[in-house]
Structure 1
Amino acid sequence: MLKKIFTSLLFLTLLGCSSVNLSIDRDSYHAKGKNHRIKYIVLHYTAINDVRSIRALTRGNVSSHYLVTTDRKQPIYSLVPDNERAWHAGFSSFNGRENLNDTSIGIEIVNLGIRSDILKKYEKEKNFFIPQYAYIPYSQSQIEKVAFLVNQLKYKYNISPKDIVGHGDIAPQRKKDPGPFFPWEYLYRKYNIGAWYDYGDYRYFLSTDSYKSCSIEKIKSEFRKYGYDMNDTPEWDEESRRVVYAFQCHFRPEKTNGIMDAQTFAILKALNKKYSN
């Protein structure tokens, strides 16, 4: 023990007499080979009211970077600094990355999600594929706040359009939020937020009827190409249907049934033509 103390003191003494510059210069040089840690913006609904949402996101084992309440007079609450890791995404995957808590900013929007009476019915039937009418719409003030916030974040961190996603997009096996009433198309057209397909491309892929001649494996590869964590089984099993459902909630919300069809296929192809080449 005395020998270790003596060695440490000797090292410190020699260090004090050393001519080596031990300061850290943070100003002279800066590397170009770098980028932001933040790659995604993930939108959620809380499925509980304002008071319970604030309590859950500040006192519990879940968190988000921002919270938008239902009160139009309240500000957007910043709960976790952008450069810190919030616990909002859980097990997740999109566009080749996993565990998106590490690389995303989470925005929670207070919304009850699915009507409780309908939710109970579908849970009793063990049916994952809940139609749009069962969900609860967002208020206009909430959408304006989300648009304001996301526009700031996307420019600050150079987020690509297709990487502005919902929780359901990155965790389709267990999550449905922000649901089919979240106005992705409106945000795209009015605020240039997120990805959306060009209607002309959609009409082209729908009119060519290429869906009928395309194998299940090939269609599933189109989902993976866009970014979804889709399996490669030769059938539309429960797992793959949940991915289709998440896609429909985002891009074809008027008909969310988890069933692959020509319209869903045409939208997917149009998106890949625009964003995934």
Structure 2
Amino acid sequence: MHLKFLSRNWLLFFMMNCGHLENGRYGMEAVSPASALRAGDAFLKQLHNTVVSPCVLHGVEGYRVVPFVDKPNRNHYDSRGGSAVKYLIMHYTVCDFWHTMHLFTEDKDSNRVSAHFVITQEEAAAVAIGREAVPAGRLIQLVPDEQRAWHAGVSNWKNDVNLNPCSLGIEHVNQGGELDSKHFYPFNKDQIHTSGKISHNIVNQYTIDPVHVLGHSDIAPGRKSDPGPLFPWGALYHNHQVGAWLDTEEIGNPDMIKKKYGLRGFPCPTKSDRGALLSMLNSYGYYRDKKDKEGHLDAKIIAAYKSHFSANQRPDLCDAVIRENDMYWAWALNVKYKQ
């Protein structure tokens, strides 16, 4: 439903059923009553001036943030402009759940950010400020599927530019990291289980190509590093049939790749070659700006690719050094997915 059709009366009616008004330090605050929350989710009652409603999101139990009618700037989204969903983009937040929700619903008129979905990590209670513990794997929708969230920013994949209008974004609450430091935080298994379940249903509903299930760093290398090398892309593929990956018998086995998919495109590389690797990555979808004559971003592209594929779960190898395994994965992905 578009916001212009919502009214204050509708919101009050909704809150009578899904939330209520409560006196707070900022005046009358909208909160989600415990009676409207599932067992173990009382922490959601502590969201500041935000009402959530229990619902099922792509086959997964979760919550939907009620639109902010009286403060439209807190709705961080707008129209897709007729664009169809063709990408699913994975992120991490680099902050805790409470800060994430604040950032994605902040009342301001510019530089707003958001994602369609947020999936919690486990966070301990903060007794000193009366804040309850946050369980891992809880799913919250802040932006309706049919609306454009502001999560991808300046981004490219193949011939598509600025992917916000044609993508859905999932934020995983996680402390994050930077490829230069090689230090990242692991993801909670319950969080990834929820991510895999909803992602599986999303890619099936929207017929999203496996190659179009990407990380923020894939579509904005050098500018973004999320979801980082510890994001378990292999688990999403093997356990939930989400995204592009190699089967166990395909890893390091060029004969199996040729047998299953035929020999097409690039020949199987036999040595490390920076130019050949970049050509394969460009063919796969990684964007190389033709204006970058000196190749200043090439190392960032290689690091982003390695974070997702050939050095996933190995932050220490997510660098600009090209190894035989990096060459093999780039070749095998191109052959398998017919790029």
TM-score with structure 1 setting the length: 0.75
Alpha-carbon distance in structure 1 between the residues aligned to 2:292 and 2:246? 27
Partner of 2:253: 203
Partner of 2:304: 246
3-state DSSP class of the match of 1:151?
helix
Alignment map for 1:182-221 (pairs within 5 Å) = 182-198=231-247, 199-200=249-250, 202-204=252-254, 210-212=270-272, 216-221=274-279
Instruction: Give the gaps of 5 or more residues in structure 2.
Output: 1-81, 122-133, 256-267
1:76 to 139, 158, 167: 139
1:256 to 318, 323, 339: 318
| Comparing 253-262 and 103-112, the one that deviates more | 253-262
Alpha-carbon distance in structure 1 between the residues aligned to 2:221 and 2:84? 24
Partner of 1:13: none
1:99-157 CA-partner distances (Å, limit 9, x unpaired): 0001100111110102xxxx6xxxxxxxx6332xx100111111011011101111110
Partner of 2:99: 52
Alpha-carbon distance in structure 2 between the residues aligned to 1:236 and 1:271? 27
1:236 shift after superposition: 8.8
3-state DSSP class of the match of 1:106?
strand
1:256 shift after superposition: 1.0
3-state DSSP class of the match of 2:147?
coil
Partner of 2:26: none
Partner of 2:328: 266
Alpha-carbon distance in structure 2 between the residues aligned to 1:140 and 1:75? 12
Partner of 2:118: 67
- Give the AA of the match of 1:153: I
Alpha-carbon distance in structure 2 between the residues aligned to 1:51 and 1:109? 13
3-state DSSP class of the match of 2:297?
helix
Alpha-carbon distance in structure 1 between the residues aligned to 2:204 and 2:292? 40
Alpha-carbon distance change, 80 to 156 in structure 1, aligned in 2, over 3 angstroms: same
Alpha-carbon distance in structure 1 between the residues aligned to 2:180 and 2:280? 21
3-state DSSP class of the match of 1:85?
strand
Alpha-carbon distance in structure 2 between the residues aligned to 1:250 and 1:236? 25
Query: Contact 1:68–1:145 (CA<8 Å) still a contact in 2?
Result: yes
Greater RCO (Cα-Cα under 8 Å, separation 6 or more): 1
Matched, 1:166 2:229: no
- Give the AA of the match of 2:283: K
Query: Contact 1:72–1:141 (CA<8 Å) still a contact in 2?
Result: no
2:225 to 176, 186, 195: 176
The structure with more strand, counted as a fraction of residues: 2
2:152 to 89, 92, 98: 89
3-state DSSP class of the match of 2:88?
strand
Query: Contact 2:196–2:236 (CA<8 Å) still a contact in 1?
Result: yes
**Which has the greater radius of gyration?**
1
Alignment map for 1:23-62 (pairs within 5 Å) = 37-59=84-106, 61-62=112-113
TM-score with structure 2 setting the length: 0.61
3-state DSSP class of the match of 1:43?
strand
Instruction: Give the gaps of 5 or more residues in structure 1.
Output: 1-34, 120-127
2:285 to 205, 214, 227: 227
Query: Contact 1:130–1:256 (CA<8 Å) still a contact in 2?
Result: no
Matched, 1:137 2:195: no
1:234 shift after superposition: 11
2:165 to 91, 96, 102: 102
- Give the AA of the match of 1:256: C
Alpha-carbon distance in structure 2 between the residues aligned to 1:187 and 1:201? 17
1:72 shift after superposition: 3.1
1:227-249 CA-partner distances (Å, limit 9, x unpaired): 00135799995410100100111
Query: Contact 2:138–2:191 (CA<8 Å) still a contact in 1?
Result: no
